[in-house]
């Protein structure tokens, strides 16, 4: 068996995670109808539904099909209330 030297990893400045503060939505918006514009792999996209909750990863909405969708803060462009 050969000995393999252990090395200390080097961290490139570009490899560090972003330290951008994330804005949170007001808690009064939970349960309200919202429209969310975001960037998807295909380009700009829009989702609408009822804001179910706000997590550290992003807002979660209940869609019209009964599912829940979590959209990352990194992809989010706009969140606005929709008149009921």
In a domain, 22, yes or no: no
In a domain, 16, yes or no: no
In a domain, 55, yes or no: yes
Instruction: Check residue 19 and give its pLDDT.
Output: 52
* Alpha carbons 63 and 48: distance in angstroms, whole number: 7
Instruction: Check residue 20 and give its pLDDT.
Output: 47
How many separate domains does the chain show? 1
Higher pLDDT, 27 or 31: 31
Confidence check: pLDDT of 66 > 90:
no
DSSP string, 16-52: SPP-PPPP---GGGTTSEEEEEEEETTEEEEEEEEEE
Tally of CB atoms within 10 A around 66: 6
In a domain, 54, yes or no: yes
Tell me the pTM.
Answer: 0.67
- Range(s) of the domain holding residue 34: 30-81
* pLDDT single digits (tens) 5-29: 767 666 565 555 555 445 678 888 8
In a domain, 53, yes or no: yes
In a domain, 39, yes or no: yes
In a domain, 56, yes or no: yes
In a domain, 70, yes or no: yes
* CATH code, domain carrying 47: 2.30.30.520
């Amino acid at each position: 068996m050969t000995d393999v030297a252990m090395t200390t990893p080097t961290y490139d400045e570009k490899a560090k995670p972003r330290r951008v503060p994330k804005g949170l939505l007001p808690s009064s918006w939970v349960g309200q109808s919202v429209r969310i514009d975001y960037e998807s792999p295909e380009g700009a996209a829009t989702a609408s539904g009822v804001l179910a909750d706000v997590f550290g990863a992003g807002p979660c909405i209940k869609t019209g099909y009964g599912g829940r969708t979590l959209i990352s803060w990194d992809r989010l462009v706009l969140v606005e209330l929709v008149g009921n």
